[in-house]
């Protein structure tokens, strides 16, 4: 759900008329009465600014009022067809996944909010699928050693995965191609394992760029060794927050323990594991591979609350005299504005649309 009642109340207080589609919040635990109490009105589909929790279909884009605004996470380089449809409709579209990762924009960062949920829920999925305990247990029949978790990637999802696995009592190891996150990994309770890179891979904004071929080979060797001794592997790696590099090959999976579990939290970006099937759970070489899509939606109440606060903070940051002001000189607007006045203004999205048009 794009807004929870607490965010509706803030927008109404700021001078906006908020319309909510009847029944839209039921699956997230928010009834129509709660929205009405916060000041929302039933939707008549004539909004100047539409808020969404997911990427719209082309049919849904055609239903937006021409020249209106759209705010949500569009992942424009993944969905060039939708971007093209938005431009043709004259929609001014903002994509929150393209908001610069600056201190000022932290409260608007939907990627971080949803990644936090994914890291937490991903570990719970692994714990439910594995054939053994997570913590060390001392019983009358003897001692059960703690399960070994290996977390790949120490962004928001990875750090939350580490913290959650530690709370479950597991022995946790983690890696990231950015050596500067070693202290962060250790601060949440994991043991850092990594290679010394030949090239710097920091891409800014908390993201990593792709590795050189030499570093990729050395990293594969490390991953193979660590995966082979782990009961659970959780992958969270994304390049630029969008593209999932293929880190876990079929050969690496074949070396893993029978009964081991791999949770691919990068499935939305194509998956970090060669054998992942996004949206499905499969068993290969005796290893259960879970590749969930839109994992944050499995905790809809908290996900909707956080998402709504992110979008509300964006709107309020550019509200003046009880109206939204499109300031294209602002770095946040420049970073996330995808389409405007019939044009694709986001550089990478424009490249994706041009590539689509050329096919």
The answer to whether 112 is a known catalytic residue is yes
The answer to whether 109 is a known catalytic residue is yes
Could you say which of 106, 187, 343, 357 is catalytic?
Answer: 106
Could you say which of 7, 16, 89, 109 is catalytic?
Answer: 109
CA-nearest of 93, 45, 41, 42 to 67 is 93
Could you say which of 101, 218, 246, 255 is catalytic?
Answer: 101
Phi, psi (deg, nearest 5) at residue 276: -65, 140
Q: What is the spatial distance between Cα 100 and Cα 336, in angstroms, rounded to a whole number?
A: 8
Helix or strand (DSSP H, E) at 261 = strand 261-264
Could you say which of 43, 52, 68, 207 is catalytic?
Answer: 207
The answer to whether 48 is a known catalytic residue is no
Q: For the chain, what is the total number of helices (H) and then of strands (E)?
A: 12, 20
Q: What is the spatial distance between Cα 231 and Cα 120, in angstroms, rounded to a whole number?
A: 17
Alpha helices in the chain (DSSP H): 5-13, 32-38, 58-62, 80-88, 110-129, 156-167, 182-187, 213-228, 250-254, 300-317, 331-336, 347-358
Could you say which of 112, 160, 184, 230 is catalytic?
Answer: 112
CA atoms within 13 A on the CB side of 121: 20
Q: What is the spatial distance between Cα 119 and Cα 106, in angstroms, rounded to a whole number?
A: 18
The answer to whether 207 is a known catalytic residue is yes
CA-nearest of 13, 14, 34, 15 to 3 is 34
Indicate the burial class of 218 (C-beta count within 10 angstroms; 0-12, 13-18, 19 or more): middle
Q: What is the spatial distance between Cα 103 and Cα 291, in angstroms, rounded to a whole number?
A: 31
The answer to whether 200 is a known catalytic residue is no
Which residue numbers are catalytic? 101, 106, 109, 112, 207
């Amino acid at each position: 759900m794009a807004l929870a009642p607490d965010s509706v109340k803030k927008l109404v207080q700021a001078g906006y008329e908020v319309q909510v589609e009847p029944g839209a919040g039921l699956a997230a635990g928010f009834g129509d009465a709660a929205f009405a109490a916060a000041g929302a009105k039933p939707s008549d589909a004539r909004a100047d600014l539409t808020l969404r929790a997911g990427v719209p279909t082309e049919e849904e884009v055609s239903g937006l009022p021409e020249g209106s605004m759209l705010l949500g996470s569009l992942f424009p380089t993944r969905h060039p067809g939708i971007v093209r449809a938005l431009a043709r409709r004259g929609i001014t579209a903002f994509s929150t996944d393209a908001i610069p990762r600056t201190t000022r924009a932290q409260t608007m960062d939907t990627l971080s909010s949803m990644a936090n949920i994914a890291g937490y829920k991903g570990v719970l999925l692994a714990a439910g699928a594995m054939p053994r305990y997570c913590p060390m247990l001392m019983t009358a029949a003897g001692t059960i050693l703690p399960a070994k978790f290996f977390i790949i990637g120490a962004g928001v999802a990875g750090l939350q995965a580490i913290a959650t696995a530690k709370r479950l009592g597991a022995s946790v190891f983690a890696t990231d191609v950015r050596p500067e996150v070693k202290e962060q990994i250790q601060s949440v309770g994991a043991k850092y394992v990594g290679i010394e890179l030949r090239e710097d891979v920091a891409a800014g904004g908390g993201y990593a760029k792709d590795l050189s071929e030499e570093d990729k080979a050395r990293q594969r060797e490390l991953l193979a060794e660590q995966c082979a001794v782990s009961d659970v592997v959780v992958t969270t790696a994304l390049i630029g927050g969008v593209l999932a590099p293929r880190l876990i090959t079929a050969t690496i999976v074949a070396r893993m323990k029978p009964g081991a579990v791999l949770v691919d939290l990068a499935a939305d970006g194509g998956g970090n594991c060669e054998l992942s099937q996004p949206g499905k759970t499969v068993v290969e070489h005796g290893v259960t591979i879970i590749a969930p899509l839109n994992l944050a939606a499995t905790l809809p109440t908290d996900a909707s609350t956080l998402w709504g606060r992110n979008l509300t903070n964006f709107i309020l940051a550019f509200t003046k005299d009880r109206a939204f002001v499109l300031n294209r000189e602002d770095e946040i607007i420049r970073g996330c504005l995808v389409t405007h006045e019939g044009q694709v203004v986001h550089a990478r999205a424009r490249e994706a649309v041009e590539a689509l048009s050329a096919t």
